[in-house]
Amino acid sequence: MGTETGTRTRGERATHWGLSQMKMNVLVYTSPARGHLYPVVPIASELSKRGHRAHIVTLAGELEHLAQIGISSSPIDPAVERIAIEDYRERSLPRAGMSVLKTFTARAAGEAPDLARGIDDHNPDVLLIDVNCWGAATVAERSGLPWAMYSPYLLPLPSRDAPPFGLGLAPMNGPVGRVRDAIVGYGFRAGFDRTVMPAINALRARHGLPELRRYSDVLARPPVLLALTAEGFEYPRSDWPANVRLIGAVNWSPPLPAPAWLDELRDPLVLVTCSTERQRDKRLLHVSLESLPATGMSVIATSAAHDPDQFSAPPGSRVVRFVPHEPILQRAACVVCHGGMGITQKALAAGVPVVVVPCGRDQLDTACRVQSAQAGVRLSPRRLTPARLAAAVHTAIERRAGALCVGRAYAAAGGEAAGADAIEALGRP
């Protein structure tokens, strides 16, 4: 598809909107990651409940799950899906970060024509694009259609009220904190922009869009930017950009029944999870299974991207690749995880405190916010030992009040209903 094909003028969209009895077609494009698909599913479901049509372009392996809940979907271009994140191969955080950014750049070239085909096929009124899909975002901006971006992780936006993103820095008040944030923030953003903006601007040039100087300018392009978190977990700010809508924690799991063996496990129960994207987090399960049952706790460990047969569970604990988290969170005293936003926010939304052992990516910042909200404990992977993990879990359990406070902040932000409201407002002619 050419960049003009499949677009409608504002007047044509108004006619289409009226003829469809105020209903609209929303096309959602995700990156090939469950942690980016699952948070957007409730928004698509809410739009469907309101009589709109939501179609998701996403992982081929998840289409059956979406069909089970009545969501229309189709697969991402297989060539894009095959480009996997491989930061686990790197031994340092900077090199791991560079590896992730190279993956996003490589995917972007295929995303652009993939979304263009989707626009041709589905004739949408509104587009909703994953924040990691730089190629799809470029086509969305060029299409002339109303569009929004969503971010399931913390937004990497500069602020005078918060420490710079990316390094897991705790807030520091006063002149020393302001100087630290200014110097560190400038250096980090300059390096990030030098890394990603040439590729993004090359894409933009191919689609006739103006060059941008900073990545924060990329996040300013969509009329609506849905941040799937809320203050109370995220640091309060007086300078959120006008396009940002904080809607709270939003997540979903495939519709599977609770395991029959769950009732056999005794309390207190601890859920330990690895990432659905392969990372260097395998040791977290080994240490949890060694330490926590010895203190009288039951462990349910989900290995996700790792083979569950690599782990040995003592009597009274279980290791599985995947299990629905919701029934476990109803009983769990604590969650131990790598600090992915999906499981961290799902736990806190249920009022369950968290021990975060961050492996990289955005997890340092997630862990710091858990600590700052007194909703759990941050434990460095370098300090991960059986004794320290057991102590961290006991401390986290004592911080349940903080987790409940974060959960209330998420609920007040509106969740999927607030997200659907923002999409509806965007689609009105």
Same domain, yes or no: 268 and 230:
no
Question: Is residue 2 in some structural domain?
Answer: no
Position 201 confidence tier, pLDDT thresholds 50, 70, 90:
very high
> pLDDT higher for 74 or 22?
74
Residue 3 pLDDT > 90, yes or no?
no
Per residue in 112-166, pLDDT (tens digit) is 999 999 999 999 999 999 999 999 999 999 999 999 999 999 999 999 999 998 8
> pLDDT higher for 15 or 164?
164
| Residue 215's CATH number | 3.40.50.2000
Provide the Cα torsion 27, 30, 36, 38; round to 10°. Answer: 50
Per residue in 295-309, pLDDT (tens digit) is 999 999 998 888 888
Mean pLDDT, residues 403-426? 97
pLDDT for 167 equals: 84
Same domain, yes or no: 133 and 219:
yes
Computed over every residue of the chain, the mean pLDDT equals 91
Same domain, yes or no: 241 and 285:
no
Share of the chain above pLDDT 70, in %: 94
pLDDT for 415 equals: 97
pLDDT for 19 equals: 38
Per residue in 418-427, pLDDT (tens digit) is 999 999 999 8
CB 343 within 8 A of CB 324: no
Which H or E element spans position 42?
helix 41-49
CB 307 within 8 A of CB 285: no
Distance CA 250, CA 191 (A): 31
Residue 85 pLDDT > 90, yes or no?
no
Same domain, yes or no: 243 and 374:
no
Amino acid letter, 231? E
Distance CA 5, CA 30 (A): 22
Same domain, yes or no: 192 and 51:
yes
Question: Is residue 68 in some structural domain?
Answer: yes
Q: Is 391 left (phi over 0), alpha (psi -120 to 50) or beta?
A: alpha
Mean pLDDT, residues 390-399? 97
Question: Is residue 117 in some structural domain?
Answer: yes
CB 272 within 8 A of CB 368: no
Same domain, yes or no: 96 and 240:
yes
Question: Is residue 5 in some structural domain?
Answer: no
Same domain, yes or no: 236 and 358:
no
Domain that holds residue 330: 260-411
Amino acid letter, 124? P
Same domain, yes or no: 56 and 130:
yes
Same domain, yes or no: 267 and 366:
yes
Question: Is residue 4 in some structural domain?
Answer: no
Q: How many domains does the chain have?
A: 2
